[in-house]
Chains A and B, each alone.
Chain A
Amino acid sequence: MSVGPEQLLRQALQYQSPPQVEMGFIDNVVKAAAHRRRRRVVLSTAAVLVGGLTAAVGLTDFGSDGVSALDGPADVIPWVPAAAPVHESAQDASPQSPTIRYSACTSQQLKARAGGLGVGVGQVTRRIILTNVSTNPCSLAGFPTMTARGASGSDVPLSVSRDHDDHGLVSPANIEPGENAELVLTTPYACEVGSADVTELALSVSSSTSVPVTLPSAFPLRAGCGVGASSFGTQAPVRAPSRLSGLRGDITFPDSVTGKGSAQFTVTLSNPTGSDVDLAQDCPSYEEFLVPASSHVSTNSHAYYLNCAAGSRIPAGGSLTFAIQVPVPDAVGEAKFGWILRGSHIRLGGVTTIQ
């Protein structure tokens, strides 16, 4: 007896493993929502002060049906093919790792607590926060060793391996009084049944001293398959804001584009800050791409400078709209597009259809 498409569909869809998401997925969702709410407030205020057009930028649910790429504001700055280097300059390279500046922390100097849980690719992560509660700075370097106890108070054998992912931390950790160091513990997802649940850890911070950490009993460390431990570190410093860091961006990209040519779209850069942003001096560049969503083949991204000759200044509370072009690959179907203004927080993108 043959199986119809309906049954195949049910089987394929309902027994499908979910796509894997990166660590901190939900945390990032919450942060993104908070960021957008703040942005709305800023732009709503701008609406009152500047007028409706500026305010519409950023609140538009771009990509809605029927929106043409060129349906933006009338004063669109034309695109110019001024190619920029594909790779960014060394100024964006990661800063050098710090060195150990202070003597090693002792257990008396530190207080440890459980930080946030994260869900990663087949892994659960747990941050451990260590606060320097003394009046002197101290340093933590290298990987921790630890012993564990379960809810019953009995020792739990623990196999700890070194996790060389930095998890966004900079090592070693030089901790001023009152500041924090962190480390990240990682356990596999699929190791729950029969696993030893750890509710208390003793972290060795030097050869002879250790710091106790109590884990929430509702979310113990499931340690039966071993634990990965990152090195001690501190949160990577936030880079100094650039002149572009206050800008906001919006993109209007057509729902569908025709293959083999160039797709035209617009990017509106708005300036909710209180001072003008000068583009003429050191004209900013951007990266862009349009690639088939189902493609395994890497395609080049492209980099160009903005047309700063035509749009040299974004006034405080104002905006500029640039026409942009991107080559359309020789393909059909859904595709991802992306646009990044270098030196800013602006990363725009979405999905379109190549016809």
Chain B
Amino acid sequence: MDGAERSAFEQFAHIRLDALLRFGLALTGDPVLATDLVQEALVRTAMRWSRVAKDGDPYSYVRRTMVNTRISWWRRLRNERLVERVPDRAVSTESHDPMLWDAIRSLPSRQRAVVALRFYEDLSEEQTARVLGCTVGTVKSQQSRAIAKLRRVLTKEWETT
């Protein structure tokens, strides 16, 4: 990446960082995992920036990479060390609606991805299917299961509080 490309990538990342972190949070239900996921997806994007930028829709590319990325590398270029303690969750995920976030976290990853794309990114079922590389029918069934599970969990929680 030359100087101009690096500058363009940094500008893109600065502008989209909050949205990507929110999307990561919706995908993982966990701010620490979300941060790792965004970092990994941005690294992969930066490695292919010339081509990604040429295609004209880097945001979609990063989002797709996040969905498809199962593993995140740690911040290995920093001097900081990995620690066994998982940092406390950011207050933000707990302050809004802890029951709902617990319910989101309890969903299988595929269902969480569908939920994130449909309800955070507001993608249509067709667009969601394209990102996930599956059929519209699969999106519908995953969404239906996710909503059913959330309804069950939330109803149960409400009844017990």
CB-CB under 8 A for A8 and B154, given A26-B14, A347-B76: yes
Fill in one digit per residue for A94-109: 1 if any B CB lies within 8 Å of its CB, else 0: 0000000000000000
| Distance from A84 Cβ to chain B, minimum over Cβ atoms (Å) | 15
Contact B72 A351 (CB under 8 A): yes
> Which stretch from A150-158, A193-201, A293-301 is at the chain B interface?
A293-301
Cβ of A178 < 8 Å from any Cβ of B? no
Fill in one digit per residue for B84-106: 1 if any A CB lies within 8 Å of its CB, else 0: 11101110110011001100111
CA distance A12 to B89 in the complex (A): 16
Q: Which residues of A contact B75 (CB under 8 A)?
A: 28, 32
Q: Which residues of A contact B84 (CB under 8 A)?
A: 289, 291, 298-301, 338
Fill in one digit per residue for A173-201: 1 if any B CB lies within 8 Å of its CB, else 0: 00000000000000000000000000000
Decide if the interface of chain A is mainly helix, strand, loop or mixed. mixed
Cβ of A83 < 8 Å from any Cβ of B? no
Contact A4 B151 (CB under 8 A): yes
CA distance A64 to B34 in the complex (A): 19
Q: Which residues of B contact A295 (CB under 8 A)?
A: 86
Cβ of B58 < 8 Å from any Cβ of A? no
Among candidates B43, B97, B120, residue contacting A33 with C-beta atoms closer than 8 Å: B43
Contact B74 A338 (CB under 8 A): yes
Contact A19 B9 (CB under 8 A): no
Contact B42 A29 (CB under 8 A): yes
A-facing residues in B25-72 (Cβ within 8 Å): 25-26, 28-36, 38-39, 42-44, 46-47, 49, 70-72
A contacts, CB < 8 Å to B: 4-6, 8-10, 12-21, 25-37, 61-65, 119, 168, 236, 253, 255, 287, 289, 291-296, 298-301, 333-334, 336, 338, 340, 345-351
